[in-house]
Structure 1
Amino acid sequence: MIHILVADDDPHLRELLNHYLQAEGYVVYEADDGVEASALLEVEQIHIAILDVMMPNKDGFQLCKEIRQDYDFPILLLTAKDQLVDKEKGYSVGTDDYLTKPFEPKELLFRIKALLRRYQMVNTEKIKLGSIVIDRKSYEVHCNEQLFILPMKEFELLSQLASYPDRIFSREDLIQLIWGSDFAGDDRTVDVHIKRLRERFSQRTDDFVIKTVRGVGYKLEVIQK
């Protein structure tokens, strides 16, 4: 299932969007400002974000820029303004689309579906590692028949390693594949995400291990039983 983050300080608009999005089968996470949205991103797997520009504490421009540094999913900005300078700023910080209030909910749905197609969220591939199933269509992991949701970058990293068991990936390879060539951070980001994956699965399964190849990078090994 596709998870959508809706960040807007107008509770009536959030309620309206929640109604239409849930009717389309999406899972909706709501935030009433940019700070709450940032906190949700740390703990929930998000596939697309709808952000209001004018939010308290952290506005949509700031949040958009932050998302672009750490995540790779489509962003749509909402604003009551229809000035070219605001749209220019929105695109400069990384938004994929821009919708001016008021708008028809159906138009928003059309744009969401177009963005998801652009980001190829319709991948049907499933990866199996013993009792673990990694579903690249729904972005879900089933571990010992229990549903397990990962933050997006962790999911993408696990999927990449699991797609090629025993293949060694350098940190630079993984940065390019998961974060993209324009990523501004360093390769320690990979180490942090690998550590999190190990901690999440070490007590849940022994079907695989992620091994460090000293001086090179990482590889995933499937445990034969």
Structure 2
Amino acid sequence: MAIADEVVGTLAHLVAYVGALALFAILALAALGQLPELRGDDPADKPGWSTADRSHPAFALSRIDSSEKTASYTILRHPEGGRKDVMRWASAADQPVAELEIYREGGEFDVTRPVAMDLAVQMGLGAATPLEQAGLIETKFGPVALFRPIGTDKGTPACLGYLKRNEEPALQISGFSCQGDTLPARRAAIACTLNRLTLLTSGNEPKLAELFAHAELKRRGCDLAGSPDWLLGAANAQLRGAL
């Protein structure tokens, strides 16, 4: 009788043990069934660009005369090493009329991203707005490509975007200008802006200092008499801007 009771007790424990294993297996399978859904969740947003209030300006525009108005200057930094120095000018009605951005690329730079997409955003257009080339201008940094929205009437004044990328050091100069009554005037305004761009400090980047030193040897003067643009013409000194 004692042996029978012992066998029954052992079987009861065995059944309970197997039942517990089955329960754990069911719970594990249920958890695994949720994994694909969890893996499909969007990853946490990575830190992006932020304003660097404590950083000092690294660039400036040389002044044509003492009446020029100071532009707004914003510095943005990225956790992966990128830095953007952005100068902006606005009209008396506080409408954006020009922007100049010097982007020192870091690990965040995406070589597969179309450059026209970011330029369209700078110009106040949608990222999907198609742009077309509007020629080249010669500057102290070499040829610079100009862009405008596709379908722009050649006889209608429109903002012109521009872009110049340098491989070594990894540097991108871009922006736009909305001033000028003619295409030649707008082209001249952008060329003058870039020729007046100077380096205040290179930090720990000797190649950046070398780039600007070589560019200064090719600097050209601005054709003040040949353009009515706000950056060039004396008649619109109240709208001109420089750092």
Alignment TM-score, normalising by the size of structure 2: 0.27
Q: Which has the higher helix share?
A: 1
Higher relative contact order (CA 8 A, sep 6+): 2
Which of structures 1 and 2 has the bigger CA Rg?
2
- TM-score scaled to structure 1, two decimals? 0.28
